A and B are shown apart, each in its own frame.
Chain A
C-alpha cells in the first residue's frame, strides 16, 4: 500500500472511532466552554476593550482544549500494544503521523467552528477587519498547534505522568506561533494594522516544524 493509502485507512479508523465514542470532541467542547465562562469573570466581557483581548482569549482557550484531544491521540494505541504492532509493520512511520495530525486537525477545527459563534455572542464581538482572513489564520494556527502537539504527544507517552508532560514541552515551543495567531486575530478583529506579517510567520512556522516532524517522527516512534 502507498503512503497515501495507509494514511487514509489510519485516518478513517481514527475518525470512525471518534464518531462512535465522541471522547475527544465532547471533552474539548466542554473544556473550552468552561474556559470561556471562567474568563468572563476575570474582566467585563461586553466592554469595548474586550475586542482587544479577545484574540488572546480565543486562542488560549483553543490551545488548552486542544491539549485534551492531543493527550488522547496515542493513549488509545498503547492499549493492546497497537503501537508495537505498528512499529514492526512495514508501513511508513510518517503515514501514522500524518493521519494522527490530520485527525487532530479535524477535531480541533470542529471545536473551533462550534465555539467561534459562542465567543462572538458571549464577548459581543464582530470583525472590523476582513473576516475571511480569520479563516486563513485559523487554518494555519490550528495546524501549528496540532502538528507539533501530535509529535510531542508521541514523545510524552514515554514519560511518567504523561498527561502533565505534554503541555510542559508543547507550550514553550508553541509560544511564537501563539503570539502570531493572537496578534493576527486581534489585528483582524480590531481592524487596526495588517495581519500579513503574522500570517506569513505562521505559514513559515508550519512549514519548518512540519518538515522537522516528518524527518524525526520515525526516530521517536522507534524510541522504546
Chain B
C-alpha cells in the first residue's frame, strides 16, 4: 500500500510538473489578454475537479443512505474536503484573472455566484460533520449532501436571470469556439494532472478514515507507518 502510494505520488508529481511546463511555457500567449490568460489552465481544471468531486460526494451519500456502508461515508468526507479545497482554488484564481481583464475583482454573475454558493453549501456540510455529537453523523451528513446537491440546479437557474459576465465556454460553445491545439493540449494535461492529484489526496484521506480497511492491516510494530 505504502509502495503503491509512493509510485502514484511520483507519477502525479511528474504529471503536475509537465502540465505546469505546458501551461506556463509551451502554450502560446493569448492575443488580447496576454500572459494573464494562463491562469485558465488552473482555473478550469480546478473547477471541473471540484464539481466532479461534489458529484461523487452526492452519489456515495446516496449509497451510504441505502446501504450504510462506512466506506461510502469515508469517501463522502474525503471528496467533500478535497472538493472544497479545489472550489477555493477556483474562487481565488477567478478574481486574480478578473481584476486585470474586467477591471474588477468580483461580480455577482451567474457562474461566480453559483460557485460561491456551492462552496458555502459544502463548507456547511463540513461544519455539520465537525459539530455533530451523535454517533449518527454520517447519516445526517449524507442527508445534507443530498439536499446540497439538489440545490445546485436551483442556484444556477435563480442566477441565470442576472446578466452573465463570465466568458462563454471556450469549447463546445458553438461556432467560433475552440482554441489553439497547444492551448488545448496544455488544458487537457492540467486537467489530467489535477484529476490525478485530487484522486491521490482523496485516496489518502479515504485510506486514513475508512474503518476496517486500516484496522485489518494494523500491526502494533507497523503503527508508525500504516497511515497510508
Report A's interface with B, CB cutoff 8 A: 148, 155, 158-161, 165, 168-169, 171-173, 175-177, 179-180, 183, 197, 201, 204-205, 208-209, 212, 216, 219-220, 223-224
Contact = CB atoms under 8 A, between A and B. Distances in A.
Contact of A165 (B131, B143, B158): B131
B159 A179 contact: yes
Contact of A224 (B134, B146, B159): B134
A143 to B, nearest CB: 15
A155 B134 contact: no
A148 B144 CA distance: 11
26 contacts: A148-B147, A158-B137, A165-B127, A165-B131, A169-B124, A169-B127, A173-B121, A175-B120, A175-B158, A176-B157, A176-B158, A179-B158, A179-B159, A180-B158, A201-B154, A204-B154, A208-B154, A209-B150, A212-B150, A216-B65, A216-B143, A219-B65, A219-B139, A219-B143, A220-B140, A223-B139
Nearest to A213: B147
Most chain A CB neighbours (cut-off 10 Å) among B117, B137, B154: B154
Contacts of B137: 158
Contacts of B121: 172-173
Given A165-B128, A183-B161, A197-B161, A175 B155 contact: yes
Chain A to chain B: the 4 pairs with minimum beta-carbon distance, closest first: A223-B136, A176-B154, A176-B158, A223-B139
Nearest to B121: A172
B146 A176 contact: no
Interface residues of B, number: 29
Chain B interface, DSSP helix/strand/loop, else mixed: helix
A216 B62 CA distance: 11
Given A159-B132, A175-B120, 8 more contacts: A172-B117, A183-B161, A201-B157, A208-B154, A219-B139, A220-B139, A220-B140, A223-B139
